[in-house]
Structure 1
Amino acid sequence: MIMENKRGIGIILTVVFLLLIPLVAIQFTNEVNWTLSDFVVAAVLLLGTGLVCEFVMRKIKKTNHRIILCGVIMVALLLIWIELAVGLFGTEFAGL
């Protein structure tokens, strides 16, 4: 299913590459302190975002609508990521 198209493979490879960055950083510095749950949450967020954008690209025909919807999805990812990282909004799931 996902592996049948090049965008799906690209999404998976991009997520793996992005998760390798903190994995390598953990080996060299104490500044990066990720646990297994951090990697799982990041993988779910990144993969979910990529797959939802792929779904939008397949189902929405108008280019302007595609751009707007994928932009909204990316902003949502960014806001969730920031909240989980530093607790910008002070919600309960930020871990503060």
Structure 2
Amino acid sequence: MFLGIIAVSRSGKWLFSRIAQDLLRTLRPARGHAGATFNHTEGKAMSGQMGEAREQRRNWVRVVIWGLAGSLFLLPLVAMQLTSEMNWDAFDFLVWGTMLLVACGTYELISRLSPNRRYRAATGVAIVAGFLTFWINGAVGMVGDEDNVYNLLFLAAIAVGAVLALVSWFRPRGMARALYAAAAIHAGTALYALASGADGLGSVLALCFALPYVLAGALFSRSAQQVEAAAAASDVP
């Protein structure tokens, strides 16, 4: 009788232990699944917050850019009220407005291709450098007057860079090559003009305008490295 009670007691403990173990096995995956669901939900929320912050920052930059463009468009009109030397007609304002619209619109289009800050910064630097080069050459000319052949070569550097960027479909590595090519053509033209004695001061100033192209190329290269590193990290199992 006593041995039977012990056997029943032992079997009861074994049965209780087995039930408890089965229950724990059942609960462990559920906890893991709940934790994974929580982490996934939390990650989506954080990603959404970061996306909203990025969008707000981009909207702020757009407001600044278009506001600055509007101010620059009105600047000649203000200057005409202050001095008689500034005498623009409707065609001048049309050309000026078209230049500003093309520059800002180009930045809008290209900067949307990548959320990378360096990519967007490089786009801005390249567009500002090209805009100033085009404007100065059309107004007074970098080397000599606006009809000097060297100034046409400076514009050719912009055209070559734009074509190479389009051929590369605006990928960061291709954009870097395009900007380096534009910088090489621009700097080579300025150095040749300086060596030939065409316009010493103008040639030196024109040479300085190659630096923004180099800076933009370096930023695009850095952006390409970040994109490639992120792609490599995502491929790691």
State the TM bucket, normalised to the shorter chain. 0.7 to 0.9
Mapped contact 1:56–1:70 kept (Cα < 8 A):
no
What is the 5 A alignment of 1:28-67? 28-67=82-121
Q: Does 1:84 align with 2:171?
A: no
Q: Which has the higher contact order (CA 8 A, sep 6+)?
A: 1
Structure 1 residue 10, shift from structure 2 partner: 5.7
Amino acid at match of 1:43: G
The structure richer in helix per residue is: 2
Please tell me the root mean square deviation across aligned C-alpha atoms, in Å.
Answer: 2.6
Moved more, 75-84 or 17-26: 17-26
Mapped contact 2:73–2:100 kept (Cα < 8 A):
no
Aligned residue in 2 for 1:75: 129
What 5-or-longer segments of structure 2 have no aligned partner? 1-58, 153-237
- Give CA-to-partner distance per residue, 1:36-90, whole Å, 9 cap, x none: 2111111111111111111122112322122112211110001001011102252
Q: Aligned residue pairs: how many?
A: 88
Which secondary structure does the structure 1 equivalent of 2:112 belong to? helix
Mapped contact 1:8–1:51 kept (Cα < 8 A):
no
Structure 1 residue 28, shift from structure 2 partner: 2.7
**Structure 1 83/59 Cα, relative in aligned 2: closer, same or farther at 3 Å?**
same
Q: Does 1:25 align with 2:79?
A: yes
Q: Could you say which structure has the larger radius of gyration? A: 2
Mapped contact 2:73–2:97 kept (Cα < 8 A):
yes
Runs of 4 or more above 6 Å deviation: none
Q: Does 1:15 align with 2:69?
A: yes
